[in-house]
């Protein structure tokens, strides 16, 4: 093997890579927020009694779930401008990711809502709860508890999927890395390094989601930040060690 | 006066034939990857649910790695990694490498969930009937595992078909790449990409529905 590995390029270009990493986080967080809101609205539209609306939402969800994200991205970035909607790669990326995330989230949220038995709502009312209380304690929290693991893994997948935005040169991590390799021909080193960054991000995201789950969706358990963190970390380590 | 070098034109018969040919390439790529991925994934799944600590941790590191970094980067790393080691192989094979390893991680994790979800009493029941270990595995456990594994495997297959679109980014000519090429020739993204999306949908949707139906039909 004649190839000499040279990782000094990472050190030289660290600030650019850092900027890319921050853009990746920005894009992901924006898309998670908008995607979740879209998914929530779609799920509620699908629960209405208007058949046409239900069919429309179902069609959207199936279209999103059965076509590649790259093609959806190209449609948003290349086709929409011809319909008079022009946007820069950053905005197009956020929009495409949100539309995609919304489709998947809608399906998860629907399953979560369906897991609440109708009798539960009646029971809540019978206990003298107000409508908002019923929504908060009987529908929202239990449904959220059911669907949270699926949602958090969807959001982590979305963050990883934001690397695909490099195809339309949104200045996120993969795109920045690709541009660096185009000048320095250190493909393997740079991609190896940013793989590590993505791995760290996915661990960070899963820690944050676990924190939210333990803090807000459990009725008992640790409550102070330090105790929750300790709980999550030992939990992860124990899983790592066995089974 | 402005000179027109390119003219915007509509899709022609040849373009459509090209897209359908590349659809076959996409399917070929997916089939190679799913076969390789299932074989490797079964090994990963068994290691992942094993009691031997070292084996288990190794399998877990493998799964975390391939599920924790973007598939696009896995494609890049295989593409440039193979170049570094000067390994020559047919484009179809080198393009499918990343997908094989990625699918294996997903299959392994799915299998682990299924294997662990089978109650211990099932093994014990087999033992009570006087079956030797291999017979317990063959007649009691495996049928349940295979039955539970079919719907999620189809789901993984659908995910894989969609992911193969990313091979276009390193220049492998499959369905999505053909769309980009046709857009460059016709100067008209209006038709190419919606057409491509429709082809993906026609391939994936029946699979999704089958998986859903099987999930209901096979559940006990």
Residues of A whose CB is below 8 A from B197: 63, 67, 71-72, 75
Q: Is the pLDDT of residue A237 over 80?
A: no
**What is the distance between the alpha carbons of residues A13 and A111, in angstroms, rounded to a whole number?**
45
Residue A16 confidence (pLDDT) above 50: yes
User: SS3 of B135, please?
Assistant: helix
Range of the domain at A159: 11-184
In a domain, A156, yes or no: yes
pLDDT above 70: residue A37:
yes
Q: Tell me the pLDDT tens digit for each residue of B77-95.
A: 888 888 888 788 888 888 8
Per-residue pLDDT, B149: 92
Helices A89-114, A14-46: axis angle to 10 degrees equals: 40
> How far is CA B16 from each of CA A73, A74, B99, B105, B197, rounded to the nearest angstrom?
21, 18, 27, 35, 13
d(CA A217, CA A141): 7
Contact A71 B193 (CB under 8 A): yes
Residue A29, pLDDT score: 96
Question: Among the listed ranges A150-164, B37-51, B96-110, B175-189, which one has the minimum average pLDDT value?
Answer: B175-189
What ipTM was reported for this prediction? Answer: 0.89
Mind telling me how many Å the CA of B114 is from chain A's nearest CA?
13
Closest listed residue to residue A34, CA positions, set A72, A91, A112, A111: A91
Is A4 among the domain residues? Answer: no
Which chain A positions have a beta carbon within 8 Å of B85's beta carbon?
1, 3
For residues B149 and B214, give the distance between their C-alpha atoms in angstroms, rounded to a whole number. Answer: 10
CATH code of residue A56: 1.10.3720.10
Element (H, E) at A158: helix A141-161
Q: How much is the pLDDT for B4? A: 58
Query: In this predicted model, what pLDDT tens digit does every residue of B111-152 receive, in sequence order?
Result: 999 988 888 899 899 999 999 888 888 898 889 999 999 999
Q: Decide: B116 and B149 in contact? Cβ < 8 Å.
A: no
Inter-axis angle of helices A225-241 and A187-216, nearest 10: 120
- Which residues of chain B does A167 touch, with a Cβ-Cβ cutoff of 8 Å? 169
Cβ–Cβ below 8 Å for B76 and A243: no
Mean model confidence pLDDT for chain B: 89
Å between B134 CA and nearest CA of chain A: 22
pLDDT band at A48 (very low <50, low <70, confident <90, very high): confident
**Interval B19-66: pLDDT, tens:** 999 999 999 999 999 999 999 999 999 898 888 888 989 999 999 999
| Residue A213: inside a domain | no
Greater confidence (A39 vs B6) lies with A39
* Residue A158 lies inside a defined structural domain of this protein: yes
Q: Is there a contact between A191 and B76 (Cβ–Cβ < 8 Å)?
A: yes
Residue A162 placed within a domain: yes
Of B49, B71, B205, the CB nearest to A62: B205
Q: What is the mean pLDDT of residues A173-181?
A: 94
State the best of B56, B70, B192 to mutate against chain A, taking most chain A CBs within 10 Å: B70
Does the residue A45 lie in any domain? yes
Evaluate whether residue A208 is within a structural domain.
no
Count how many residues are written for chain A. Answer: 243
| Percent above pLDDT 90 for chain B | 54
Name the residue in chain B with its Cα closest to that of A194: B73
Compute the mean pLDDT over every residue in chain A, rounded to the nearest whole number.
89
With beta carbons under 8 A apart, name residues in chain A contacting B194. Answer: 75, 79
Q: What is the percent of chain A where pLDDT is above 90?
A: 55
CB spacing of A164 vs B166 below 8 angstroms: yes
pLDDT for res A243 = 38
CB–CB of B166 and A194 under 8 A?
A: no
* B 100-159 residues with CB < 8 A to A: 116, 158
Q: Are A38 and A99 in contact (CB under 8 A)?
A: yes
∠ at Cα A201 (A232, B101), nearest 5°?
A: 100
Count how many domains chain A has: 1
């Amino acid at each position: 093997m004649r190839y000499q590995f040279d990782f000094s390029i990472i050190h030289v270009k660290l600030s650019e890579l850092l900027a890319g990493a921050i853009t990746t986080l920005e894009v992901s967080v924006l898309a998670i927020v908008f995607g979740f809101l879209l998914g929530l609205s779609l799920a509620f539209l699908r629960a209405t009694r208007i058949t046409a609306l239900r069919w429309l939402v179902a069609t959207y969800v199936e279209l999103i779930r059965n076509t590649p994200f790259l093609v959806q991205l190209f449609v948003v970035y290349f086709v929409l401008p011809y319909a008079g909607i022009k946007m820069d790669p950053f905005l197009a990326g956020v929009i495409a990711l949100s539309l995609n995330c919304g489709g998947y989230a809608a399906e998860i949220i629907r399953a979560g809502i369906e897991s609440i038995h109708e009798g539960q709502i009646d029971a809540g009312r019978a206990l003298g709860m107000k409508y908002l209380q019923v929504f908060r304690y009987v529908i929202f929290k239990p449904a959220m508890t059911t669907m949270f693991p699926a949602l958090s893994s969807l959001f982590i997948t979305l963050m990883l999927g934001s690397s695909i935005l490099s195809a339309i040169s949104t200045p996120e991590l993969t795109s920045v890395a690709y541009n660096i390799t185009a000048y320095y021909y250190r493909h393997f080193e740079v991609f190896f390094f940013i793989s590590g960054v993505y791995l760290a991000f996915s661990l960070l995201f899963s820690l944050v989601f676990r924190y939210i789950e333990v803090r807000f969706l459990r009725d008992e358990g640790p409550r102070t930040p330090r105790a929750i963190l300790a709980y999550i970390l030992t939990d992860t380590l124990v899983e790592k060690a066995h089974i | 006066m402005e000179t027109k070098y390119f003219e915007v034109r509509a899709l022609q018969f040849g373009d459509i034939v090209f897209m359908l040919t590349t659809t076959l390439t996409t399917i070929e790529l997916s089939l190679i990857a799913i076969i390789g991925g299932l074989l490797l994934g079964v090994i990963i799944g068994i290691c992942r649910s094993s009691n031997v600590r070292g084996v288990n941790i190794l399998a877990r590191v493998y799964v975390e790695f391939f599920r924790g970094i973007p598939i696009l980067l896995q494609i890049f790393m295989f593409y440039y990694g193979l170049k570094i080691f000067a390994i020559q192989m047919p484009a179809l094979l080198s393009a499918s490498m990343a997908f094989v390893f990625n699918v294996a991680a997903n299959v392994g994790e799915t299998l682990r969930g299924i294997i662990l979800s089978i109650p211990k009493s099932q093994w014990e029941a087999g033992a009570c009937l006087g079956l030797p270990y291999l017979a317990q595995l063959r007649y009691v456990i495996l049928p349940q595992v295979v039955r539970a594994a079919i719907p999620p495997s189809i789901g993984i297959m659908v995910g894989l078909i969609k992911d193969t679109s990313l091979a276009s980014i390193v220049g492998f000519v499959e369905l999505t790449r053909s769309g980009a090429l046709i857009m460059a020739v016709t100067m008209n993204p209006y038709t190419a990409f919606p057409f491509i999306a429709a082809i993906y949908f026609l391939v994936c949707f029946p699979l999704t529905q089958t998986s859903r139906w099987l999930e209901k039909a096979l559940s006990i």
